[in-house]
Chain A
């Protein structure tokens, strides 16, 4: 066999190899890829054929050689061995077992989460929208869920690279996790084990929950997506959480419908009839759940009813003029809030919410038994509750008058948990939430910059009472310390940095010296 011929064969193999690598890595996307792969493939193949056909003798001689046989044998047995190893790895990777040696079992799911996951009947798809599609901690967490059940499939999505997915599922913020179970879906924005497990409980529960919006007084329309003051965005968000939203004309029926999980009362300039207010009161006394949104300058028909439940509405408007420097109307009528009470609704909630045109909502439960009242949201210390409404709206003037106005922080939302037995009116519990603003929930503000949506959905979830949700303590590696004196520190330095390497070096020198 001539040497140049052998070189031709080798070059052919190298060209084919590089063509293969290029094809694997680029998958032939651009014309340049095709040019590179095509030219290398063709030339390589040509060189190889030329080498093999440069003389049938060459080929016959090559095939006949003893080394060719052994070489082929080695290649085949090596390939076979690799195939077996790949298969073993594939099987063992799918049937693996994890030993979590951390003291708090940080990388294992809690027993509550495992039992929830093990009870899954259908496939659960999880999509995690994270920045750049990369979030190792979240991936670890989702992997631990997927490890527990083959029914769970998750994918990490970069909303910037796959905007169509974000668009499709209406995801607008990073770290949004969407869960889909059959026809039910839900999203969470603070991915941790507790929230994920509770979200799984939510989507797997089949009972339907109905939000009844009282209408007949010019309330914001839940079907009008064009109007910035409409409530269609709220309806869509609730639908996403498996709530059915219906309009209820309370004036024409004798009592609140039985299938309402929660009733939403939006106060407008047009008054409620006594019959309606009585029906709401009666509903509450039978363990009902009501969300009130009552803006300023509305004739306060609900004062007596809310008084019974330990709440008082201020006849005022909350003003925060610091905000004016950055945004909002010149008078400061859209205060921001980021102070929240310790409550299930606002647990771990740190985001800012905006309360345009809001009145104060205060606790007034002194002497009333069985009521747990929480002032949920407070505006900043620079705000105040302006009571001179005439000056505010006629002359567009607002100033803090210590005699009549209340200095901030001002509570603009409050919730009540009423134990009916302790109140002496029956069994079970009733829940009331009151927000001193309507605009905070309209289309403009619920999907805007602030986290009104999350606050409102949390409130409705709490009103409905997700009693079977679990609480999972966040697990971390135990905090540990090290303590040594200055002298001990010196010893550690000498021992770790200097002495051991020094001894090894000496030993080496001695060995070298003796051998020399």
Chain B
């Protein structure tokens, strides 16, 4: 456990001593702030529009959860698809390229500790990213009255999503010593998981159900709506566990290749 924490701390430190972490965080928060402020402006515009049109039915449908938080979280998830590969691409690939990988492999650390330590470091980084965006719902809670349960479930969804992304990123980084290849293959995998359910409604019943189940958006969407289903949590945990297991196997392969 101590080894894992040591590696995690080293990993996290390596993010923050290089400009990458700051560029990623700045970009993420810049986009997030822009989304949030404009969604909030649109909400207020709709409210005044419906009120002036004397449309009481539409006014009762207006709520911060559906009109600000949900689109904000969906937009952030798309940004994560693009930014997470940038964070994780270096984790193994960089070490392979710079030659420190050999050192790591010949150290008394177990492979499980290496993989899990790197994962933990990246996870804390993702946690920081998600927590920093927490300022938006805090503003809403300060000045308004959104439903807090839906916000909590949506943020849990965003964190699970980011964690799943990170483990996929670690996996692709473990395959190669080229950071570009690591980032692009992670991006492609994540995008594929993101859009895989598109043909679900028009394909057969079983095929549709499988595609829908494989899709990140379907599971994430449920949590953004305010529903925590054990099925969705199982899915996210499976993606995380499977990616880490395969990354473990991939790292281990250097010992016999």
Cβ of A78 and Cβ of B37 under 8 Å apart? no
Q: Which of B99-107, B161-169, B188-196, B220-228 contacts A (4 or more CB under 8 A)?
A: B220-228
Interface size class of A (residues with CB under 8 A): 35 or more
**Overall SS of chain B's interface:** helix
Closest to A75 in B: B249
Closest to B154 in A: A101
Cβ of B241 and Cβ of A85 under 8 Å apart? yes
List residues of chain B with CB within 8 A of the CB of A515: 17
A227 in the interface, Cβ–Cβ < 8 Å?
A: no
Indicate whether A500 sits within 8 Å of B230 (C-beta atoms), given known contacts A78-B249, A101-B150, A482-B64.
no
Closest to B141 in A: A482
Cβ of A508 and Cβ of B21 under 8 Å apart? yes
CA distance A112 to B199 in the complex (A): 35
List residues of chain A with CB within 8 A of the CB of B202: 133, 158, 161
List residues of chain B with CB within 8 A of the CB of A92: 230-231, 234
A71 in the interface, Cβ–Cβ < 8 Å?
A: yes
Indicate whether A500 sits within 8 Å of B135 (C-beta atoms), given known contacts A480-B64, A482-B64, A508-B23.
yes
Closest to B234 in A: A92
B108 in the interface, Cβ–Cβ < 8 Å?
A: no
CA distance A480 to B64 in the complex (A): 6
B111 in the interface, Cβ–Cβ < 8 Å?
A: no
List residues of chain B with CB within 8 A of the CB of A481: 47, 62, 64, 144-145
Cβ of A96 and Cβ of B152 under 8 Å apart? no
Interchain nearest-CB distance for B257 vs A (Å): 6
Indicate whether A156 sits within 8 Å of B242 (C-beta atoms), given known contacts A93-B234, A477-B147, A497-B37.
no
Residues 484-516 (chain A) with a chain B CB within 8 angstroms: 484, 488, 492-493, 495-498, 500-501, 504-505, 507-509, 511-512, 515
Cβ of B147 and Cβ of A102 under 8 Å apart? yes
Choice from B16, B132, B144, B150 contacting A483 with Cβ under 8 Å: B144
Most buried by A among B25, B29, B43, B149: B29
Cβ of B34 and Cβ of A497 under 8 Å apart? yes
Cβ of B230 and Cβ of A97 under 8 Å apart? yes
Residues of A whose CB lies within 8 Å of any CB of B are 66-67, 70-71, 74, 77-78, 81-82, 85, 88-89, 92-93, 96-103, 106-107, 132-134, 155-156, 158, 161, 476-484, 488, 492-493, 495-498, 500-501, 504-505, 507-509, 511-512, 515
Residues of B whose CB lies within 8 Å of any CB of A are 16-17, 19, 21-23, 25-27, 29-30, 32-34, 36-37, 40, 43-44, 47, 59-66, 132, 135-136, 139-140, 143-147, 149-150, 152-153, 201-202, 205, 213, 225-231, 234-235, 238, 241-242, 245-246, 249, 252-253, 256-257
**14 contacts across the A-B interface (CB closer than 8 A):** A70-B257, A85-B241, A93-B231, A98-B230, A101-B153, A101-B228, A102-B227, A155-B205, A161-B202, A477-B66, A484-B143, A492-B143, A501-B26, A511-B16
